Chain A
Amino acid sequence: MPAAEPTGFDLERRYALHPQVAVRPEPFGALLYHFGTRRLSFLKDPRLLEVVRRLADAPTAHAACTAAGVSEAELDRFARALATLAETDMLEVA
């Protein structure tokens, strides 16, 4: 996957997993599979999985990160990961 430019992704908006995405937890994090685009993706951090799971119920992506215990110092890294997921249609604006 090309390096993601976090364009179009906004931490202050609410996101959710695309309905055609399946999530399989793994010891390293999780596997994501999109049945529409047929793309596989990896979450290489269990906390990122926790963030993704909380997205739909949080008012913003930022709030989901905070609820999952992501510190402000780590926020950029998690935002980039979420942006990549959004760009590949794994996430959508809710």
Chain B
Amino acid sequence: MRLVDQFERGLDAPICLTWELTYACNLACAHCLSSSGRRDPRELSTVEAKAVVDELARMQVFYVNIGGGEPTVRPDFWELVDYATAHRVGVKFSTNGVRITPEVAARLAASDYVDVQISLDGATAEVNDAVRGVGSYATALRAMDNLHTAGMRGFKISVVCTRHNVDQLDAFKALADRLGGQLRLTRLRPSGRGADVWDELHLLPGQQRQLYDWLVEHGEGVLTGDSFFHLAAYGSALPGLNLCGAGRVVCLIDPVGDVYACPFAIHESFLAGNVRSPGGFGGVWRTSELFRSLREPQSAGACGSCGAYDACRGGCMAAKFFTGLPLDGPDPECVIGHGATALSTVDRHGAPRPAGDHSHTSGVRGGPVPVTIGRHPPEHACDESPLAGIGAGP
């Protein structure tokens, strides 16, 4: 059996998972996939969060991708990071950079077990701030300068690819090279507030091809969180495992302890359980009916007769779901064009709405201005199909 088939049947524990520590965020990014802004009073306490870490350590989950919201605004953020790494659960956290002071940067540079990724959605302030809010570019650059100065190497610059920044890929790469970071590109999903801006921001067909060619050219030097496997239908697969790991090798724990199949699917249809239930996280992972069904062979449905199905596997479940497309059909960004056809006939207004909106109710100072794009700025590209940067070893 190929490894990818093995993974599609699910593992006894995730390889890694995304853990959003809080819905609180100083920004209000237009495409925030978790609709973050305000803290939820039901968020896990420090004690509860440590119990989750204990369980992840027992299950040998190698690392967690911590996001939010802006995770560093949690008063116990560093306490939890230290607790995780002390238990050999590695941490990679996503931040907009607001708390990455020179002191914090020095501390990060000294740790092998903590990695950081700074979210940046434009190589220029103009492009970035239109989505993430006024001043967010300067904040991110200051954070990266601090990391560079502290000697931190290989931190990630995490970019959600949009219609407006796809022409800046070389500039992003140059920025990463100059600062000793590594570029990480991920896919814009119609999740959270992203559902409101997806039509305006997602890549145009020609831009998808442009991105694919660029990724092929740059190979393993650029990380993708395995999020572009739908582009494999253009030809050869991109580095990574090229599969949807939702509920199989990855999942999401949200700030209130709800476990979802993936970070892009915060909706009751993809809710597997809660870490506060008697069986804890492990019980949810092992026994959830939803996860069991995801680990069954999936129907190719309308894609069954397409020669590219083996390459793209039908694309992203969340992208289909939140655009109102059936899960056993083409991805809305199917490179062959079947998605566009499907979108033109589906009732977009009937598409499911993302659950649990924690958006700021009156915006934030300098928040994205809805001139050309959406309303709020987003935070974090937590995604991370854990399969980023893997080497399919012996």
Q: Of B6, B12, B115, B394, which contacts A80 at CB under 8 A?
A: B394
Query: In the complex, what residues of B have CB within 8 A of residue A38's CB?
Result: 63, 90, 92, 115, 154, 389
Which residues of chain B from 46 to 91 have a CB within 8 Å of any chain A CB?
60, 62-63, 88, 90
Q: Tell me whether B1 is interfacial, beta carbon within 8 Å.
A: yes
Are B3 and A42 neighbours in the complex by a CB distance under 8 Å? yes
Give CA–CA (A27, B60) in the complex, Å.
Answer: 15
29 residue pairs bridging A and B, Cβ less than 8 Å apart: A22-B62, A22-B88, A24-B60, A26-B6, A26-B11, A28-B1, A28-B3, A33-B63, A33-B90, A35-B62, A35-B88, A35-B90, A36-B112, A38-B63, A38-B115, A39-B390, A40-B15, A40-B386, A40-B390, A41-B391, A41-B392, A42-B390, A42-B392, A43-B393, A44-B3, A81-B393, A81-B394, A85-B394, A88-B393
Query: In the complex, what residues of B have CB within 8 A of residue A36's CB?
Result: 112
Give CA–CA (A92, B59) in the complex, Å.
Answer: 26
Using a CB–CB cutoff of 8 Å, the interface residues on chain B facing chain A are 1, 3, 6, 11-13, 15, 60, 62-63, 88, 90, 92, 112-113, 115, 154, 386-387, 389-394
**Tally of contacts, chain A with chain B, CB under 8 A:** 74
Most chain A C-beta atoms within 10 Å of own C-beta, residue among B12, B391, B394: B394
Are A39 and B1 neighbours in the complex by a CB distance under 8 Å? no
Q: Smallest CB–CB gap between A21 and chain B, Å?
A: 10
13 further contact pairs, Cβ within 8 A, besides A1-B391, A40-B15, A81-B393: A22-B88, A26-B6, A26-B12, A27-B6, A28-B3, A31-B15, A33-B63, A35-B63, A43-B394, A44-B393, A45-B394, A84-B393, A88-B393
Q: Tell me whether A61 is interfacial, beta carbon within 8 Å.
A: no
Give CA–CA (A22, B59) in the complex, Å.
Answer: 12
Q: Smallest CB–CB gap between B62 and chain A, Å?
A: 4
Are A33 and B62 neighbours in the complex by a CB distance under 8 Å? yes
Q: Smallest CB–CB gap between A63 and chain B, Å?
A: 19
Q: Of B12, B88, B394, which contacts A44 at CB under 8 A?
A: B394
Are A1 and B392 neighbours in the complex by a CB distance under 8 Å? yes
The proximity string for A residues 1-41 relative to B, scoring 1 for CB distances below 8 Å and 0 otherwise, is 10000000000000000001010101110011101101111
Q: Tell me whether A55 is interfacial, beta carbon within 8 Å.
A: no
SS of A interface (majority): mixed
Give CA–CA (A42, B15) in the complex, Å.
Answer: 11
Are B12 and A40 neighbours in the complex by a CB distance under 8 Å? no
Query: In the complex, what residues of B have CB within 8 A of residue A44's CB?
Result: 3, 393-394
Closest residue on chain A to residue B394 by CB atoms: A81
The 8 lowest CB-CB distance pairs between A and B, nearest first, are A81-B394, A41-B393, A1-B391, A33-B62, A40-B390, A24-B60, A28-B6, A36-B112
The proximity string for A residues 76-91 relative to B, scoring 1 for CB distances below 8 Å and 0 otherwise, is 0000111011001010
Q: Smallest CB–CB gap between A40 and chain B, Å?
A: 4
Q: Smallest CB–CB gap between B273 and chain A, Å?
A: 23
Query: In the complex, what residues of A have CB within 8 A of residue B1's CB?
Result: 28
Q: Tell me whether A65 is interfacial, beta carbon within 8 Å.
A: no
Give CA–CA (A32, B60) in the complex, Å.
Answer: 11
Give CA–CA (A40, B61) in the complex, Å.
Answer: 12
Closest residue on chain A to residue B249 by CB atoms: A31
Give CA–CA (A81, B244) in the complex, Å.
Answer: 27
Closest residue on chain A to residue B1 by CB atoms: A28
Query: In the complex, what residues of B have CB within 8 A of residue A24's CB?
Result: 13, 60, 62
Closest residue on chain B to residue A45 by CB atoms: B394
Q: Of B6, B12, B393, which contacts A85 at CB under 8 A?
A: B393
Give CA–CA (A66, B351) in the complex, Å.
Answer: 59
Q: Smallest CB–CB gap between B388 and chain A, Å?
A: 9
Are B63 and A42 neighbours in the complex by a CB distance under 8 Å? no
Are A1 and B90 neighbours in the complex by a CB distance under 8 Å? no
Q: Tell me whether A48 is interfacial, beta carbon within 8 Å.
A: yes
